Amino acid sequence: MNNDRLDAMLTRLKLTAIRDGLDTLLDEAARRDLNLREALTFLCEAEIARKDQRRVHMATSIAKFPYVRTLEGFDFQAQPSVDPKPIRELATGRWIANGDALLLLGPPGVGKTHLAVALGREAIHKGYSVLFTTATALMTTLTQAQAQGRLEERLTHYSKPKLLIVDELGYLPFESQAAHLFFQLVSRRYERGSLLITSNRSVGEGGEVFGDAVVATAILDRLLHHSHVITIRGESYRLREKRRAGLIRPASHLPGTEQAGKSNATTL
Ligand code: ADP
Ligand code: MG
């Protein structure tokens, strides 16, 4: 048989994994003594695996995660306030299919961004589009877009991904105009796509974060309607690691700091 012709046909059909690995795949099929139907299945599996890998790779670069983090890399033992069970349920992506919101709350360094990125990654593996942004970057972009008369365009951009992750909401309180812009985004995504928000503030502090109590109520109303809230407590993972390595003194020796586990203020 003419190898070039087969190569050209596989290229035309965009079956590049089969094309590039043909000799190896056929050898393997022969070694396993596969019949024609089984061999065809084996070749299709190789092609699908390559396509899935490409899709995940592409979707991951579009998502703009700040770093690579996985659920497997999350040490649940080091963070006893996080129950692995609901996290595993969230990893199935069902909450995204339902268009629910997820709030990850807690003080700095406890793993909020890590879990947000890890769940974003799981969402991509389940076939959902994801976009990661910080609250500050999001608000800067929306405010600028409004000034340039391109607000619609930007709101559409942030409404497209099935999951939008907004990291670090509440580190800086919003101006009332920014709170209004955020409200527009939340309304536009409401029941269409999921929002994952991380924050060092508690839900009760929404009024302070969004400046205006009326806008805050309207935002929280939509956010909390179909939502999952996970509150992480305890001390910063990095500090804990340093402390363990003896690089810094135990928390109890530092004046004005609470002991780990006691600083449990529910922290939007
Ligand atoms: P924050 O809650 O401020 O968003 P991060 O998620 O960025 O904190 O966590 C700070 C660093 O500590 C990151 O590098 C993260 O991967 C790591 N980290 C935090 N918690 C854990 C954990 N339980 N297991 C493994 N790494 C963790
Ligand atoms: Mg963070």
Residue 229 exposed, middle or buried by CB count within 10 Å (0-12, 13-18, 19+): middle
Pick the CATH number of 64-267 from 3.40.1380.10, 3.40.50.300, 1.10.287.610, 3.30.479.30: 3.40.50.300
Question: Using a 6 Å cutoff on CB, does residue 197 contact ligand 1?
Answer: no
> Tell me, what's the pLDDT at 52?
95
> What is the residue-wise DSSP string for 65-99?
-SS---STT--TTT-TTS-HHHHHHHHTTHHHHTT
> Tell me, what's the pLDDT at 246?
78
Question: Using a 6 Å cutoff on CB, does residue 120 contact ligand 1?
Answer: no
> Tell me, what's the pLDDT at 75?
95
| Ligand 2 geometric centre to CA of 176 (Å) | 24
Ligand nearest 135 Cα, by number?
Answer: 2
> Tell me, what's the pLDDT at 265?
38
Separation CA 153–CA 83 (nearest Å): 39
Distances (CA, A) of 240 to 68, 115, 158, 256, 261: 21, 18, 36, 17, 12
Contacts of 192 (CB under 8 A, 6+ apart): 99, 159
Question: Using a 6 Å cutoff on CB, does residue 239 contact ligand 1?
Answer: no
- To test the ligand 1 pocket, which listed residue (71, 114, 241, 263) has its Cβ within 8 A of the most ligand atoms? 114
The structure tokens listed for 130 are: 């994801």
The structure tokens listed for 236 are: 């910063």
Separation CA 157–CA 150 (nearest Å): 11
Contacts of 9 (CB under 8 A, 6+ apart): none
> Tell me, what's the pLDDT at 63?
98
- To test the ligand 1 pocket, which listed residue (69, 121, 237) has its Cβ within 8 A of the most ligand atoms? 237
Which has the closest alpha carbon to 198: 174, 239, 241, 232?
232
> Tell me, what's the pLDDT at 259?
38
> Tell me, what's the pLDDT at 41?
98
Tokens 């070749």 sit at which residue?
43
The structure tokens listed for 158 are: 């942030």
Question: Using a 6 Å cutoff on CB, does residue 65 contact ligand 1?
Answer: no
Question: Using a 6 Å cutoff on CB, does residue 109 contact ligand 1?
Answer: yes
Mean pLDDT by 10 residues, the chain (268 residues): 89 97 97 98 98 97 97 94 96 96 95 98 97 96 96 96 96 83 93 92 80 84 90 88 75 43 40
Domain map (residue ranges) of the chain? 3-54, 64-267
> Tell me, what's the pLDDT at 16?
97
Contacts of 169 (CB under 8 A, 6+ apart): 135, 197, 198, 199, 201, 209, 268
> Tell me, what's the pLDDT at 17?
97
Distance of CA 53 to the CA centre of its chain: 18
> Tell me, what's the pLDDT at 250?
58
> Tell me, what's the pLDDT at 257?
38
What's the predicted TM-score (pTM) here?
0.85
